[in-house]
Every structure is written in structure tokens, then in C-alpha cells.
């Protein structure tokens, strides 16, 4: 696909803006957030999973093979304790990282909504101006649907309609 030079410069500018936003969010993390992100990244990797699996198998083999001198005989109570300890620490750290990611996602959603609302307002105004130009030029264009599109959109009314529809659908489904 070939991009028009102007479109390419616009998309490059947008990509750079997004990259700056991402860099700002990464650079503004606290030390705790950085640690939580590193732990979540490590624990969520194939390397960690493979190393942990090898260590678990090695632990069990050494304890079963050296039955007479094992430090954690079957059913591996000490191993269960170690894994529980690991889970007790890893879980809240991973949740902290996920909470930070959720906050970033929420900010992006707010930004998207704001931009969408601005675009809708601009489009409404453009339609109104286009209709005025057509009227001035003596061009008949308005149909009921076009008139409706010129009206201002009220997000709170749309949310109310969505909620009513969802509640009716959930009631019908027995939820």
C-alpha cells in the first residue's frame, strides 16, 4: 500500500505522539511500580516457567532418588510450602502491575472518548454548515435522517439508552 506523502507525515506525527505518551508513562513509574512490572514480566515469561519446571522436577527426583537421605520426602510438604510462599508474594506484585496497566488503559479510554466526542461535535458542525451552503446555493438535500445527524449528540442520553437495553436483555436472559 502506498501512502500519500501528507498522510505519511500525519501518521508519523501521530505515532511519535503515542510513543512520547508511552515513554512518559514508563518514565513516571515509581520504584515500586518498576519492580512490580519487572517481577510480572519475569514471572510471566517462558524462561521463568521452564526454569521453575526444571527446578521442581529436580527437587522431586533428588528427594525420591535419595529416599533414605531426602530433605523433603514424598508428598513434598516443604516444596508445597516454598511454592505457596512464592505465590503469596508473586500474586500481589503481579496485581500491582496489572492495576497500573488498568489505570493507563483507563486514561487511554478517557482520551479516546474525549477525541471521539470532539470529532462528533466537529462532524455535526460540518453537516450544519454544509446544509447552510446547500440552502444558499439552492440545492435541496435534507431528508429526515440528515436532519437528525445535524443534532447534537448527548452522551449521557446514549449511555442511558444502552443501560436500559442491557438491563432489558439481562432480564430476558434471567441474569
The owner of cell 449521557 is: 156
Average pLDDT over residues 103-122: 90
Helix 77-137 and helix 31-43, axial crossing angle in degrees, nearest 10: 110
Q: Is pLDDT at 141 greater than 80 in this prediction? A: no
The owner of cell 508511552 is: 22
Domain assignments of the chain as residue spans, ordered by start: 26-173
Highest average pLDDT, of 1-5, 58-62, 80-84, comes from 80-84
Q: Which of 28, 41, 36 is nearest to 96 (CA)?
A: 36
Please answer whether residues 36 and 97 qualify as being in contact, where contact means their C-beta atoms are separated by less than 8 angstroms. yes
Please answer whether residues 56 and 76 qualify as being in contact, where contact means their C-beta atoms are separated by less than 8 angstroms. no
The better pLDDT of the pair 161, 88 is held by: 88
Q: Is pLDDT at 2 greater than 70 in this prediction? A: no
Q: Is pLDDT at 92 greater than 60 in this prediction? A: yes
User: Which residues, 6 or more positions from 81, have their beta carbon under 8 angstroms from its beta carbon?
Assistant: none
Amino acid at each position: 500500500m502506498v501512502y500519500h506523502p501528507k498522510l505519511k507525515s500525519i501518521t508519523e506525527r501521530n505515532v511519535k505522539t503515542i510513543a512520547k505518551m508511552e515513554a512518559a508513562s514508563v518514565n513516571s513509574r515509581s520504584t515500586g511500580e518498576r519492580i512490580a512490572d519487572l517481577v510480572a514480566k519475569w514471572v510471566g515469561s517462558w524462561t521463568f516457567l521452564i526454569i521453575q519446571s526444571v527446578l521442581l522436577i529436580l527437587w522431586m527426583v533428588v528427594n525420591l532418588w535419595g529416599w533414605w537421605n531426602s530433605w523433603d520426602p514424598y508428598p513434598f510438604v516443604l516444596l508445597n510450602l516454598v511454592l505457596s510462599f512464592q505465590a503469596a508474594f508473586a500474586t500481589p506484585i503481579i496485581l500491582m502491575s496489572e492495576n497500573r496497566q488498568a489505570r493507563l488503559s483507563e486514561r487511554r479510554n478517557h482520551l479516546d472518548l474525549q477525541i471521539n466526542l470532539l470529532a462528533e461535535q466537529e462532524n455535526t458542525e460540518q453537516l450544519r454548515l454544509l446544509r447552510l451552503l446547500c440552502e444558499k446555493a439552492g440545492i435541496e438535500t435534507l431528508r429526515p435522517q440528515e436532519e437528525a445527524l445535524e443534532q447534537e449528540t448527548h452522551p449521557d442520553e446514549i449511555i442511558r439508552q444502552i443501560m436500559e437495553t442491557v438491563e432489558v436483555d439481562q432480564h430476558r436472559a434471567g441474569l
